[in-house]
Structure formats: structure tokens, C-alpha cells
Amino acid sequence: MSSGTFTRGRRPAALLMAVPLVAACGGGDPDGRLDAGPPELARGQRLVVTTGDGVRLRPSDDGRAVTDPRIVSRWSHREDTWTLDLSCRDHDERCPRMPAVDVPAGVPVSVTARNAGIDAAGLSAGLDLTTVNGDITVNRSGGDDATVRFVTRNGSVRASGLRSGELRAATVNGDVSLGSATSPTRLTATTENGSVRVTLPSGTPSYDVTATTQNGRTSVTVPTDTQNARHSMTLGSVNGDVTAAQG
């Protein structure tokens, strides 16, 4: 299709420190004070991770959080949201830029990172991942009705095996490549300088699709219906190709 617009409708024990998740009681700390110990995280609660570097998110095998002892971990709590702040001691050259955080099943997680990437795999709830100057890489994560959001400024977004009810991905300088195991009701993927590619499963329902680029080509081979579709897809680039396919 010509360029332009398409519109239709196990880690070494010496390096890791395991921290058990203790039972949570009551409604939480309204002042959001720093907690000396880690929380229990259960369905209905949310984990927020903040870091000046990057992070790797993996599923918790036994209800415990696992962190590298070279990283400083500080917890705070407000209602159903637990915040984990990760930082390095001054002049500690051993401090990892991509420490691991294990996430209990069914707990949505948000991450704000900077100057490094975010890598997530095998998680089973909603994701809200944001970084600047780093890639976002996600595999086999999300949930059928979950909201999944990926945002970076200078880096690419690459995801496969995603499950979501709503899926959004954006960058400024980099590619966006999304492989979904479900057909989200609403899907948005954009970049300014890079390509956009979305792959949905075979048998996906019809979408109301808007696909645009200024300098590149568009190709849409998913089922489309501008009038009656209950699913929508918005894809865009300024300098790059835009593709939506199934299978």
C-alpha cells in the first residue's frame, strides 16, 4: 500500500537477597511513611516501583520479593498502593543498573525509570511502564481485562505474548512492535521517528482502524469495519512504516 493514511473503520545466591512478604493488616498507612519491612501484596493492591536506573520484573515463585543486596530498597505505603524506591549508594560501582524485582501473581505494577530500560516477563496483571532513554521489553505478560501501557522517549517498545483489554504504547525516537495474544478493545501505538507494527491473533474481530504516517507506508490486514466495530485501533508514525496484521 502506498504511503500516507489508512483509515478504516534461578539467580546466584551470593548476589540475591530474598525478602519475605509479610501479612498486610488493615487499611494501610495514610501518611505514606517509609516501612522498615516489605509488605504482603495481594490481589486488589498495586505495586509502584521508582528508580533512577532500570529494572527487571519477574513473577514471584513463592510469595516473596527478591532484590539484589547491592541496591537500596525503601518501601512506603498509602492505602492499597505500595511504593518501592530503588537507589544506589553514592560511588557504589557494584550497584546494578537493572536489578530484579519479583512481583506476586495478580498484582498490577507501575514502573517509573530513567536512563535505562525496563524488562518484564511472565507477569499476570496490568502494567504501566515508563522510562526515558531506554527500551521497554515485555514478554508473556498482562491479563485479559488488564490495562497495559508502555511509554518511553528515546528507546523502542518491543512486546510479545501480551494479554490486555486496553493496550497503549508510545515513544518519540524508536520503534513500537507489539505482539498480542488477545484482541484488546482499544489499541494505540505511536512513534515519531520509527516504525509501528502490531500483530493480533488469528480470528481477531473487526476493528475501526486509523493508521497514518507522513514518510513511510501503511499496511493493514486485520479485519476492519468503520461502522459497527466494537474494537478500535490507532497507529501512527511521522517517519516510518505502520503495519497491522494477524496470525
Q: Report yes or no on 227 lying in a domain.
A: yes
- Give me the tens of pLDDT residue by residue for the chain, a chain 247 residues long: 444 555 444 444 333 334 433 333 334 444 444 444 567 788 888 999 999 999 999 998 766 565 677 788 898 888 889 899 998 887 677 888 899 998 989 999 999 999 999 999 999 999 999 999 999 999 999 999 999 999 999 999 999 999 999 999 999 999 999 999 999 999 999 999 999 999 999 999 999 999 999 999 999 999 999 889 999 999 999 999 999 999 8
Q: Is residue 16 part of a domain?
A: no
Burial class (CB in 10 A: 0-12, 13-18, 19+), 50: middle
Q: What is the pLDDT at residue 6?
A: 52
Please report whether residue 75 resides in a domain.
no
Q: Is 14 a domain residue?
A: no
The pTM score is 0.85
Angstrom distances, CA of residue 187 to CA of 37, 149, 169, 183, 199 = 39, 10, 8, 9, 11
CB 44 within 8 A of CB 63: no
Q: Within a domain: residue 146?
A: yes
CA distance 60 to 83: 17
Residue 212 lies in a domain: yes
Q: Closest Cα to residue 67, out of 104, 119, 117, 18?
A: 18
The number of folded domains in the chain is 1
Label residue 240 left, alpha or beta by phi (over 0 means left) and psi (-120 to 50 means alpha). Answer: left
Is residue 47 exposed (0-12), middle (13-18) or buried (19+ Cβ within 10 Å)?
buried
Judging by beta carbons within 10 Å of its beta carbon (0-12, 13-18, 19+), is residue 165 exposed, middle or buried? middle
pLDDT reported for residue 63: 60
Query: What domain range includes position 51?
Result: 5-9+41-66+89-246
HSE toward the beta carbon, residue 240, CA cutoff 13 A: 21
Q: What is the CB neighbour count within 10 angstroms for residue 196? A: 28
Q: What share of the chain is helix, strand, coil (3-state, %, to 5)?
A: 0, 50, 50
Q: Could you tell me the strand order of the sheet in which 46-51 lies?
A: 5-8, 207-212, 231-236, 186-190, 166-170, 147-152, 127-131, 109-112, 46-51, 81-87, 72-78, 34-35
According to the model, what pLDDT value does residue 96 have?
Answer: 86
For residue 185, give the CATH number of its domain: 2.160.20
Establish if 110 belongs to a structural domain.
Answer: yes
The pLDDT, as a whole number, for residue 25 is: 33
Question: How far is Cα 246 from Cα 111, in angstroms, rounded to an integer?
Answer: 29
What is the amino acid identity at position 217?
Answer: R
Contact between 136 and 155 under an 8 Å Cβ cutoff? The reply is yes
Q: What is the pLDDT of residue 97?
A: 86
d(CA 128, CA 56): 14
> What span, in angstroms and rounded, lies between the C-alpha atoms of 197 and 178?
6
